[in-house]
Structure 1
Amino acid sequence: MKQLFFLLTFLSYFTLLSAQTKPEIAFTLEEKNLIPEGIAYNAVDKSFYVGSIYKKKIVQITADGKVSDFISSGADEIEQVLGMKVDARGFLWACNNTSEHDTVNRISNVHVYDLHTKKMVKRFKLVDDRVHLFNDLYITKNGDVFITDTQASMLWVVRRDSKTLEEFTKPGSLMWANGITASQDEKHLLVSTTGSLGIAMVDIQTKAITPLLNDRYRMMGFDGLYRYNNILIGVQNTFFPESIQKIVMTPDNRRAEKVDFLGESDSLFNIPTTGVLADGYFYFIANSQLLQIIGSSQGKIKDPEKLEDIIIMKIKLNEVY
């Protein structure tokens, strides 16, 4: 009887694994030393934008697959590009910062570009006596932009049509804040942390911070965090193996009901970072190769011969349920 039980359990587990959505390659970029972190999408012309940490630039991939520099290296004093988003008015918002080995300048920026003219229309620059890292951002339906600051463990906000960067939560309030999205009703921001909060819920009106409740799951360290209906999709690269996770929330948006893998231990993964919802798919950077430049490399590629083409993968959203 025990043997039969274990056999049935194994077969059920194998069937579950076989039924899981498997990421597939969407497109590749031959510029191996991009070391990309952020990706954005313009639904109007179906172009993708990929930001480069190493080359301090933004690449555009058009609907017909043409690849070119949208913003060339160092243009407009842009630094290492991280999270990016396209807003409803056709502007590309790009978080960027001086490199980790640059302990003198310590500049954090958000550059805003008009997608039609490729011109920078705004730049929000932060330089003070603290260390900052503008990492990712979320744009609400009314046009407010919330920015995670990983090094200062906090959030900033740029109100619609404002020329000012405002402190939204206090420094230290959101430990290593990174990926960010919002609840379906946009009453709460959902922010990935590496502290005891896990995924933090930040009330947009009161600024009160509470954890996204769950009974059994460890939910932290998501580089990218996205909402699709009542599901959160998280790109997890803090712990190994790296994975793309699906978090099903309860109807009140206050509790995680279930966590599953959409992709795990894929042979193509090499520090997956962020993604974007586009035309029924979740696209994400599968192999940023970020370990090639972090640590003691002083911003240089550690082993150029081991670099590979950049792979953007996708998961069909109607199969996420």
Structure 2
Amino acid sequence: MKRYCFLFLYLLAEGLLAQQKPEIAFTIEEKDLIPEGIAYNAVDKSFYVSSINKRKIITISADGKVSDLIASGDNEIEQVLGMKVDAKGFLWACNNTPEHDTVNRISNVHVYDLRTKKMVMRFKLVDDRLHLFNDLYITKAGDVFITDTQASMLWVVRKDSKTLEEFTKPGSLTWANGITASQDEKFLLVSTTGPLGIAMVDTQTKAITPLLNDRYMMMGFDGLYRYNNTLIGVQNTFFPESIQKIVLTPDNKRAEKIDFLCERDALFNSPTTGVVADGYFYFIANSQLLQIIGNQGKIKEPEKLNDTFIMKIKLSEAY
């Protein structure tokens, strides 16, 4: 028995040693920001962080200077979630009216030219269903796919189009959230909280199948990203909160292995989304999202809020 206990402790220690201690990349000294999305502009090495509580987008310059890119409520922007920068230097930002606002129920994608800081397009959705534009993926060809969490579906804006189109049917992707794609972009990979786990959506036929695996529960990733032949998932649905690495088979249709990149960090407080940039994975470590959910848009305990920490993990050491 002692030998088995020793072996268990040894394997546990090996697993912990395999993880990295994430480091703080940036600190945003705005305690009530309640951030959700983060994006990166490789041209000037700036980061962009969205705010749910303040309905705005901030920028972090390459030297760490923090300032507002889009001020609160500008261009009727609502609570801002997932964001991506496209090849043209445009920032796409999902935003929605607050959950407690049962009158307006508006979901938007605002598109900003980062050179001029002006809005160049707005895709607005108002109908008789509940919607929540949550995250998006931009293909190399320029198509933009958007997860709609409340309607459990995907939308698409085709390259150079000014129209928002249904891509999958409502209810097809339970609580769709994080989204990325296979290396060849034949499949979208969408995080769900249903039996599909991580769903594979064929970009041509729209057929939906699960990402296969023999032994892992792959549900509820807030952010989902591809790096080489792996996925990086931000897990805040189940505990411990963690950043996970999912190793895929060469055909991208099965998960071979899941490892923790990091978990149980003292600064974690509902980590949400991240972005791969210059060999690192940057992510929002403490969105403090639970401070505002279910409280009519008000902060529950303002005295317990902390600064926002953007942390990073060096991917070359984890692969």
Task: Specify the TM-score bucket, using the shorter chain as the normaliser.
Answer: over 0.9
Q: How far is 1:319 from its partner?
A: 1.6
Structure 1 portions without partners, runs of 5+: none
2:5 counterpart residue number: 6
Q: How far is 1:17 from its partner?
A: 1.1
**Identity percentage of aligned residues:** 82
2:98 counterpart residue number: 99
Which residue, 293, 301, 304 being the options, matches 2:302?
Answer: 304
Q: How far is 1:156 from its partner?
A: 0.1
Mapped to 1, the partners of 2:273 and 2:111 lie a distance apart of 19
Matched position secondary structure for 2:128: coil
TM (norm. structure 2) is 0.99
Q: How far is 1:279 from its partner?
A: 0.7
Q: Which amino acid letter does the alignment assign opposite residue 287 of structure 1?
A: N
1:279 counterpart residue number: 278
2:216 counterpart residue number: 217
Matched position secondary structure for 1:191: strand
1:181 counterpart residue number: 180
1:136 counterpart residue number: 135
Q: Which amino acid letter does the alignment assign opposite residue 312 of structure 1?
A: I
1:247 aligns with 2:233: no
1:48-85 C-alpha deviation (Å, 9 max, x unpaired): 00000000000001011111100000000000000000
1:39 counterpart residue number: 38
Mapped to 2, the partners of 1:134 and 1:12 lie a distance apart of 42
1:83 counterpart residue number: 82
Aligned residue pairs total: 319
1:126 counterpart residue number: 125
Mapped to 1, the partners of 2:182 and 2:209 lie a distance apart of 13
2:51 counterpart residue number: 52
Within 5 Å, which residues of 2 pair with 1:261-280? 261-280=260-279
Measured on the aligned residues, the alpha-carbon RMSD in Å equals 0.8
1:227 counterpart residue number: 226
Q: How far is 1:9 from its partner?
A: 3.5
Matched position secondary structure for 1:34: coil
Q: How far is 1:12 from its partner?
A: 3.2
Mapped to 1, the partners of 2:282 and 2:313 lie a distance apart of 7
Q: How far is 1:233 from its partner?
A: 0.3
Mapped to 1, the partners of 2:94 and 2:226 lie a distance apart of 20
1:4-37 C-alpha deviation (Å, 9 max, x unpaired): 3432342232123113222111111001100000
Matched position secondary structure for 1:83: strand
Mapped to 2, the partners of 1:200 and 1:5 lie a distance apart of 38
2:156 counterpart residue number: 157
2:66 counterpart residue number: 67
Mapped to 1, the partners of 2:54 and 2:7 lie a distance apart of 52
Matched position secondary structure for 1:58: strand
Mapped to 1, the partners of 2:291 and 2:11 lie a distance apart of 40
1:316 counterpart residue number: 314
Mapped to 2, the partners of 1:3 and 1:36 lie a distance apart of 47
Matched position secondary structure for 1:8: helix
Q: Which amino acid letter does the alignment assign opposite residue 316 of structure 1?
A: K
TM (norm. structure 1) is 0.98
1:226-250 C-alpha deviation (Å, 9 max, x unpaired): 0001110000111122111110000
1:30 counterpart residue number: 29
**Runs of 4+ that moved beyond 3 A:** none
1:186-219 C-alpha deviation (Å, 9 max, x unpaired): 0000000000000000000000000000000000
Matched position secondary structure for 2:151: coil
2:189 counterpart residue number: 190
Mapped to 2, the partners of 1:137 and 1:66 lie a distance apart of 26
1:291 aligns with 2:290: yes
Mapped to 1, the partners of 2:244 and 2:281 lie a distance apart of 12
